[in-house]
Amino acid sequence: HPVYCLSVVGTQNAHNLISVSTDGRLCSWSLDMLSQPQEILELQHRQSKAIAAMCLAFPHNDVNNFVVGSEEGAVYSACRHGSKAGVTETYEGHQAPVTGIDTHKVQEGIDLSHLFLTSSFDWTIKLWNLKENKPL
């Protein structure tokens, strides 16, 4: 299955490469050993159906929580570790594959890290709040 998105997460001295693919697998890779992933998380929703991931983004300074856009047009929030590892929320609003996603960066004194933006083959971009499952 194709890998459509990569992201580097962590600190300057300790970081991992994260990949997502259309088979619903999120893999964490050590840059020192790219022959096999260090960690694999199966991204699933409703009736254990795999999420065909097209893009992902991590909020600023967060290596655990992330948002992922899918081939069917939905967006999901998820976390990599802990008792709630996997998909935690579904956001519906696009009618075609989500091709891009990004989170708002934290700026001095203003924290808008709960906001994220998506683009889609449906010719729209949408602004979202992590606390609401419909676009703003």
- Mean pLDDT (whole number) for 10-35: 89
**21: domain range?**
3-129
CA separation for the pair 75, 22 (Å, rounded):
14
**CATH number of 54's domain:** 2.130.10.10
- AA letter at 10: G
Are 91 and 78 within 8 A, CB to CB? no
Tell me: the pLDDT tens digits for 71-121? 999 999 999 998 888 899 999 999 999 999 999 887 777 888 889 999 999
Look at residue 116 and tell me if it is in a domain: yes
- Residue 47 has what pLDDT? 72
pTM of the model as a whole: 0.89
Please tell me the predicted confidence (pLDDT) of residue 77: 94
Residue 134 lies in a domain: no
Distances from the Cα of 89 to the Cα of 11, 37, 45, 46, 107, angstroms: 27, 25, 9, 11, 26
* pLDDT at residue 106, rounded to an integer: 76
pLDDT of residue 113: 83
Neighbours of 53 (CB within 10 A): 26
Q: What is the mean pLDDT of the chain?
A: 91
Whether residue 67 has pLDDT greater than 90: yes
On whether residue 135 sits in a domain, the answer given is: no
Report if residue 136 sits inside a domain. no
Contact of 69 with 99, CB cutoff 8 Å: yes
Contact call for residues 80 and 39 (beta carbons, < 8 A): yes
Quote the number of domains for the chain.
1
Nearest in space to 90 (alpha carbons), one of 77, 103, 101: 77
Residues in Cβ contact with 92 at an 8 Å cutoff, skipping those fewer than 6 apart: 73, 74, 75, 133, 134
